[in-house]
Amino acid sequence: MKIYFKSLGMHLKGELEYRVNFILSFLSQILVFFTYYFVILALFTKFDHIKGFTLYEVLFCFSIIQFGFSFNEVFARGVDRFDNLIIQGGFDRLLLRPQNIVLQVLCSDSDFVKASRLIQAIIVMIIALCHLTIPWNFMRVFTVLLMLLSSCVIFFGIFLMAASYCFFTVQGLEVRNVFTDGGKHMAQYPIGVFTKGFVLFFTFVIPYAFVNYYPLLYVLGRTDNLLYAFSPLLVLFYLIPCVLVFYWGMKRYASVGS
Amino acid sequence: MKAYLTYFKLKFISGLQYRAAAWAGIATQFFFGFVYIMVYIAFYDSGGSNLPMQLSEVVTYLWLNQAFLALVNQFSRDQELFKLIKEGGISYELARPKDLYFMWYFKIIGQRLANVTLRFIPLIIVTALLPYPFHFGLPSSFSHFLLFLLSLGMGTLLVTALSVLYPIITLLTMNEKGIVNLIITLADILSGIVVPIPFFPIFLQKISSFLPFQYISDLPFRIYVGNVSIENGLFGVVIQFIWVVLLILFGHFLMKKNLRRVVVQGG
């Protein structure tokens, strides 16, 4: 863990060397990710609700997903850009070192410019929560924290899964976007607004529904079932197959040479 | 002129080689089309007041967007040109006795047409076979279809004229990220790739009508689905033409100006 924080600090220092570039990129990222929110804002000028969910409920739902995604983009950038390690042969070097391999991949890269997106997600979440009239109590606050945690966990799992893909082939990498960006796009709305097939898919195959749909229902007071409040914890189990796939892929790994 | 057409052919033919990438692209676009449509279906199911487009129109619009994405989007930039600028290859380009602006213009248009040629046919065929509500509809009339083709052609010239500007700006800034990224992001929103223009808040629609971006793909697609009448469509095509001429003149001028201050990188 100490190694990880140290490498994080080094990456940050490295990025801050180009200070103007860092600030400009940081600002432009904010605008880039505003486009995601723009879709929702624009559509809600024409529609009052989406299957009973109002603008701020959707924004809250979306900010949870954005938070987890950008958290991983900043702190697990090495996993996100794993294809670079494979294509350039850097992975061989990591294998030689006497350290946990996932930890080393985590240390290999980070992207603090993406922190702008993280901050943006937090701001949107606060705005959304201020506009919602939620009867706050300890359990609800706890559920929101669980949602944030599970959002970070699920994207780490998905990134790891996507990284494993590189062990088999480095072609057609954009297919992976279907699972990361495509799933993310659907999960920005409460999953329940879609047809049943999708709800089942996002419950049992990629469990986005446990991140921001079932617990959302509890926080908004649509249900009093405590199972809904604790459902984000189930996402932790999702990590197991992801890690297994990664190690399984690593066994089959053949270096690209050079 | 012949030399420029050769550039176009070169890019077009080499672009057609990337068939595996195209299949991956088709699969991705098909999936994203589905996802976007699902969102609109959920919204339309919830009902709304005075909606600017019918659901079937929106669905066809979104499929057109996916089918022609490789042609009309701003975000996929010609990495080769940026590399030329950043790594000094531009000195070779300058040594050639041809107008650099049009060399780049024809390269970009060739690349874009090659990319879209590989992608749009399978996507259109499959989506036309889908059942309601995912069905890709026919054009609202034959004259709308002809006008759509004309307007899409103009849109292609327009998007190319805009895309050439990005490397030209980079000649001066040496970094394609900062300002160019900002313009591209705004351009993509305002060209209707994210949300069709009629769904914009009124004030943004007004601003957008004074900018070239919505004439790239929003106009042709809305002509196709019949959301724009023939008269308004023809008027739109005239505006497209004016923007193409203005942007080419501007790009040509800006390039001349920036080339005077160009710095060659590397040795």
Q: What tens digit of pLDDT does each residue of B12-29 get?
A: 888 888 777 788 788 888
Integer angstrom CA distances of residue A71 from A64, A85, A112, A151, A229: 11, 21, 10, 9, 22
pLDDT for residue B267 is more than 70: no
| B28, B46, B200 member nearest A51 (Cβ) | B46
Q: Please report the pLDDT score of residue B176 as a whole number.
A: 67
Amino acid A172: pLDDT: 63
State whether A32 and B185 contact (CB < 8 Å): yes
The 8-class DSSP code of residue B18 comes to -
Task: In whole angstroms, give the CA distance from residue B96 to residue B19.
Answer: 31
Among B86, B189, B197, B207, pick the best mutation site for testing chain A contact (most A Cβ within 10 A).
Answer: B189
Minimal Cα distance from A182: which residue of B?
B32
Q: Is the pLDDT of residue A56 over 60?
A: yes
Residue where the block lists tokens 């089309």: B33
Q: How many domains does chain B have?
A: 1
pLDDT at A256: 63
Residue B254 contacts by C-beta under 8 Å, 6 or more apart in sequence? B165, B168, B169
Cβ within 8 Å, pair A45-B201: yes
Q: Tell me the pTM.
A: 0.86
From residue A21, how far is each of A29, A76, A141 by CA, in Å?
A: 12, 22, 38
Query: Which DSSP symbol is given to B227?
Result: S
Interface contact flag, A50 B46, Cβ < 8 Å: yes
CB–CB contact A194 B42 (8 Å) = yes
Q: Scanning every residue of chain A, which has its alpha carbon at the shortest distance from the alpha carbon of B21?
A: A172
Q: Is ipTM over 0.85?
A: no
Domain ranges, ordered by start, for chain A: 2-251
**Domain limits for position B51:** 2-259
Let me know if residue B264 belongs to a domain: no
Please provide residue A47's backbone torsions phi and psi, each rounded to the nearest 5 degrees: -115, 150
- Residues B154-181 have a mean pLDDT of 85
pLDDT at A257 over 70: no
- Tell me, what's the pLDDT at B220? 94
Closest CA to A233 of A196, A207, A206: A207
In the chain, the amino acid numbered B231 is: E
Helix, strand or coil, per DSSP, at residue B112? helix
Considering only CB atoms, A35 lies closest to which of B35, B48, B189, namely B189
- DSSP letter (8 states) at residue B161: H
A47, B48: Cβ pair inside 8 Å?
Answer: yes
Q: What is the mean pLDDT of residues A194-223?
A: 88
Grouping H, G, I as helix, E, B as strand and the rest as coil, residue B266 is coil
CB contact under 8 A, B42 and A189: yes
CB–CB contact B199 A46 (8 Å): yes
Given a cut of 90, is residue A123 above it in pLDDT? yes
Residues of B in contact with A39 (CB under 8 A): 194-195
Which pLDDT does position B148 carry in this prediction? Answer: 95
**Mean pLDDT of chain A, nearest integer:** 85
| Highest averaged pLDDT of the listed ranges A12-26, A48-62, A86-100 | A48-62
Residue B267: inside a domain: no
Give B63's pLDDT tier (boundaries 50, 70, 90). Answer: very high
DSSP three-state, residue B48: strand
Report yes or no on B140 lying in a domain. Answer: yes
| pLDDT for residue A99 | 80
